[in-house]
Amino acid sequence: MKPFVNISCLVRLTVVASLVFAAGCSTKKDAFLNRNFHALTARNNILYNGKNALEEGREGLIETYTDNFWEVLPVERMEVVEEKALSGGAKNPSFERAEEKAAKAIQKHGMNIRGRERNPQMDEAYLLLGIGRYYDQRFIPAMEAFNYVLDKYPDSDKYHQARIWREKTNIRLESEELALENLKDFVYGTELKDQEYADASAAMAQAYMNLQYPDSAIRKLKIAAAVTRINEERGRYYYIIGQLYDRMDHKDSANAAYDKVVALKRKTSRSYRINAQLQQMRNTQPADSLEREERLEFLAEMEKNRENRPFLDKIYHYIAGFHQEADSIGLAETYLNKSLSASQGDWRLKAMCYEELAEINFDRNEYKNAGAYYDSTLTQLKDDRRKIRAIRKKLDNLEDVIRYEDIVHVNDSILRLAALPEAERVAYFEAYIEEIRAEDERLKAAEERAEAQGNYDPFASPGNAVGQQAEGGKFYFYNPITLGHGKTSFRRIWGERELGDNWRLSDKGTMPRQDDVARGAQEQVAMTPDERYDVNFYLDRLPLDAEILDSLKVDRDFANYQLGLIYKEKFGEYPLAITKLETLLDSDPEEKLVLPAKYHLFRLYETVGSEKMASVKADIIKNHPGSRYAEILENPEAVLAGEADDPEVYFATLYRRFEAQQYEAVVRESERYIKQHNGEEIIPKMEMLRATSLGRLYGLDRFKKELNTIALNYPNDEVGREAQKRLDETVALEKAMFAGEQAEKGRWKLIFPMRKQAEVKMRELVENMEFFALKYPYYKTIEVSRDVYDEDTVFVVVHGLKNDNDAKAFRELVNHDEECKIDVENFLILSPDYRTVQVHKNVEAFRSKGVQKP
């Protein structure tokens, strides 16, 4: 028998249920059913998904954020990007989804009836909206959401969280004082849960850290670490406390904080524990050999632990420093290279390793390697401008050393071989060929073994030990050390070149120095395998012409002289400087190098306390009487006033004379100084001062000629590059034309050309101009100067004539005033035209064109 179904009753029940559901969906009716329906739907559907998206975004933020343990860590893992903070839209898809869910919950389930929110889940929706915006670095919109919660939901259980998030947002907006004031009132006047108290204390700590109050920050972090229920946060807070104590140089307190990090073991991030242990060891040095052995054993255990692999770069770096302090330089170098090989992308650590390797190589006088490592350091440094400038300065100095050492090495080798009898030259090259033949056979055997084992790499670069140790692989441009060598070599040959087509052409940049080209030291000679083992191939390429050998000797001697000065002045390597200058004097150098080399040797012997000082002094006085150096040694008081024994002091004295327009005297004295001090560091600056003085006397053409000479002679010096820049700027000056008759606007000058010898008449003229300024108050603002035009002529110039009417009226007064007539020829000129006249020294052309006003 079929069960009885009352269709009519079923329809009625369905209709009633639909009506009840429809009534419950309304957000305009304040009823129990409506409130609970929308609250339940918002919480279990939309807000649930939104919170999951927020948590996913936070986890991604933490995973992608890299802590910089070389600086004090921020309380919260989040890097603020300025452009992102100021932009309008969300960028992180997880935070965007969380914000969308929060907005959807507010739009669909908000029950704002008669100014009061009836859905108890809306405070969570607005809080979720604010937190999503905060993590997406849109702090102003986030602040609006938090303020809405505080304004509309004063009785919400999320009220305290909203206050803390609002003050965290104030801190992100650099309103730390406001955030601290609000948090103090909030924390001290409110009963908070432990985690809320920890979050508020941590936020206050960050504000104090931003304001550079470490003591207050430490107090708040200790509170936060004590009450937080999240061990990850506790480990971070204790580590920051240790860092702050380190900054205050309270090592014991710092180590106590690091102990608490280590005690958490696996409850907190391993990165905190490893860095805490390394920092503890940096803060305490072993008291004796036993403690040193114990520390080495502990470090060996850290190195072997598989879980420490992500931190091996830092562990190796500490071990390198540990060995370096014990003067085990070889071990230190090994571990620095291990640190680079194990690098996890910490550019600061890589820069430190490269710099330390550079210093090690520099101390060993291996300047090529040091320069390459400094180059690699620069490739790692990003925003540390001070460090970048310091490294660049060291590298610039090293480039000169490398260049001159190469000249000495190559030219010495050639000269020594050329001086050997033919039989000995043949024997030398035969021995060399045997060496390269043995090396080739060794490499061939190694390749055959690798090929038999199935791991032969035809693109491997054998023999590059330095490069293999560094991070980056074997390919040239992936290896920073090899790349550094290449850059240094390129700059040594070609100078600074812009990237572009036909870069070898002379008009594309600084060409190599003539001595570099003559030596051909960097030329790569292509050879066949047969030629590689042929003695005649090498003998035929050995220069034996006397003129070429003399040129090589001159270049080598000058390089030794420059090296002596560089080691003395820039690096303070006095023994090396002495060796170079003594080698120079033993090689019978050009006469112009002998006296300055002896004088610098005297000063070096004086510095190191050598007994040779007296003999060198007597040599200079006896064999070079009347020279500046002899005068200095016999009677320092007799040296020219201001010159003393300090080139910088003398340069400053000459520059003051240049400013006083004593151009002829500056040219004369600078030429004398350049002749007597050839090769000194200050000579390029002296050359530029001389060139500028000549330009002031003889015009643009002479100035261009002198600039060109400086640019060619000092292509790798800052002064040489400045000369090239100013040479390029003279193009605009060459095109300068007179303003012409139509130009009436602008300031004018009244010019009185006078002979330089007429000093008395010039003084009278200046006094008369001052008289006119007093007699006619309208012209009280005029000024009078004396400007050198050339070696025979001086212009007395009246400045401050505002327009052509003022200029004509003043000139009329000057020429026709009955009380004080001026009988000196004069003319008017626009200020731009006056500059053109001084640059080109073409006043006659100007006056012949009739450009001046009557």
Residues 36-82 pLDDT 10s = 554 555 455 666 666 676 777 777 776 777 888 889 999 988 877 65
pLDDT-based confidence at residue 520 (cuts at 50, 70, 90): very low
Cα of 701 vs its chain's centroid, Å: 38
Burial class (CB in 10 A: 0-12, 13-18, 19+), 253: middle
Last residue of a domain, one of 344, 367, 382: 344
* Domain that residue 203 falls in: 174-277
Distance CA 493, CA 155 (A): 77
Residues 115 and 183 in one domain: no
Q: Which two tokens stand for residue 529?
A: 């395998």
- Give the CA distances from residue 694 to residues 344, 733, 794, in Å, rounded to whole numbers and listed in that order: 58, 17, 15
Q: Which two tokens stand for residue 693?
A: 């003085």
Torsion of CA 189, 193, 196, 202, to 10 degrees: 80
Closest CA to 832 of 743, 730, 728: 743
Question: What count of residues does the chain have?
Answer: 854
Q: Which two tokens stand for residue 585?
A: 């004097």
Distance CA 173, CA 179 (A): 10
Residues 553 and 677 in one domain: no
Model confidence at 649: pLDDT above 60: yes
- Asked if residue 30 is part of any domain, the answer here is yes
Burial class (CB in 10 A: 0-12, 13-18, 19+), 791: exposed
Amino acid identity at 850: G
- The H helix count followed by the E strand count for the chain is 40, 6
- Asked if residue 853 is part of any domain, the answer here is no
Last residue of a domain, one of 571, 604, 638: 638
- Asked if residue 473 is part of any domain, the answer here is yes
- Give the CATH number for residue 178: 1.25.40.10
Model confidence at 550: pLDDT above 60: yes
Residues 398 and 526 in one domain: yes
Model confidence at 493: pLDDT above 60: no
- Asked if residue 459 is part of any domain, the answer here is no
Torsion of CA 416, 420, 423, 425, to 10 degrees: 10
Those residues whose C-beta lies under 8 Å from the C-beta of residue 844, and which sit 6 or more positions away, are none
- Give the CATH number for residue 777: 3.30.70
State the pTM of this model. Answer: 0.60
Q: Which two tokens stand for residue 550?
A: 């003399």
Model confidence at 473: pLDDT above 50: no
Q: Please tell me whether residue 787 adopts helix, strand or coil conformation.
A: strand
181-195, 233-247, 524-538, 629-643: the lowest-pLDDT one = 629-643
Distance CA 798, CA 357 (A): 63
Residues 410 and 429 in one domain: yes
Burial class (CB in 10 A: 0-12, 13-18, 19+), 341: middle
Distance CA 127, CA 151 (A): 12
Residues 146 and 249 in one domain: no
pLDDT of residue 810: 83
Residues 424 and 573 in one domain: no
Question: Which of the 8 DSSP states describes residue 784?
Answer: E
Mean per-residue pLDDT over the chain, rounded: 78
Q: Please tell me whether residue 753 adopts helix, strand or coil conformation.
A: strand
- Asked if residue 743 is part of any domain, the answer here is no
Question: Which of the 8 DSSP states describes residue 638?
Answer: G
Model confidence pLDDT, tens digit, residues 764-787: 888 878 777 777 777 777 888 888
Residues 514 and 366 in one domain: yes
- Give the CATH number for residue 632: 1.25.40
- Quick count: other Cβ atoms within 10 Å of Cβ 428? 16
Distance CA 806, CA 779 (A): 9
Model confidence pLDDT, tens digit, residues 2-45: 454 455 555 555 544 444 444 445 555 554 555 555 455 545 56
Q: DSSP states of 303-316 as a string?
A: HH-GGGGGGHHHHH
Distance CA 34, CA 13 (A): 20
- Asked if residue 117 is part of any domain, the answer here is yes
Q: DSSP states of 158-222 as a string?
A: THHHHHHHHHHHHHHTT-HHHHHHHHHHHHHTS---HHHHHHHHHHHHHHHHHTT-HHHHHHHHH
pLDDT of residue 398: 82
Model confidence at 379: pLDDT above 50: yes
Model confidence pLDDT, tens digit, residues 717-765: 788 888 888 887 776 666 555 555 445 556 888 888 888 888 888 888 8
For the stretch 573-576, contacts whose Cβ atoms lie closer than 8 Å and that sit 24 or more positions apart, written own/partner, are 573/365, 574/604, 574/607, 574/608, 575/608, 576/365
Residues 419 and 567 in one domain: no
Longest CA–CA separation in the chain, Å: 146
Distance CA 202, CA 724 (A): 57
* Cβ(481)–Cβ(388) below 8 Å: no
- Asked if residue 2 is part of any domain, the answer here is no
Amino acid identity at 504: R
- Asked if residue 370 is part of any domain, the answer here is yes
* Cβ(134)–Cβ(150) below 8 Å: no
Q: For 651-674, b where at least 16 C-beta lie within 10 A, e where not — what string? A: bebbeebbeebbbbebbebbeebb
Residues 363 and 487 in one domain: yes
- Quick count: other Cβ atoms within 10 Å of Cβ 694? 19
Closest CA to 243 of 198, 204, 209: 209
Distance CA 662, CA 697 (A): 10
pLDDT of residue 601: 92
Last residue of a domain, one of 590, 605, 638: 638
Torsion of CA 494, 495, 498, 501, to 10 degrees: -10
Q: Please tell me whether residue 745 adopts helix, strand or coil conformation.
A: coil
Residues 383 and 524 in one domain: yes
Torsion of CA 17, 20, 24, 29, to 10 degrees: 170
Q: In this prediction, what percent of the chain has a pLDDT beyond 90?
A: 19
The number of domains in the chain is: 7
- Quick count: other Cβ atoms within 10 Å of Cβ 793? 14
Model confidence pLDDT, tens digit, residues 317-371: 999 999 988 888 999 999 999 999 988 888 889 999 999 999 898 888 788 888 8
Residues 566 and 476 in one domain: no
Residues 477 and 406 in one domain: yes
Distance CA 166, CA 181 (A): 13
Q: Which two tokens stand for residue 502?
A: 């036909």
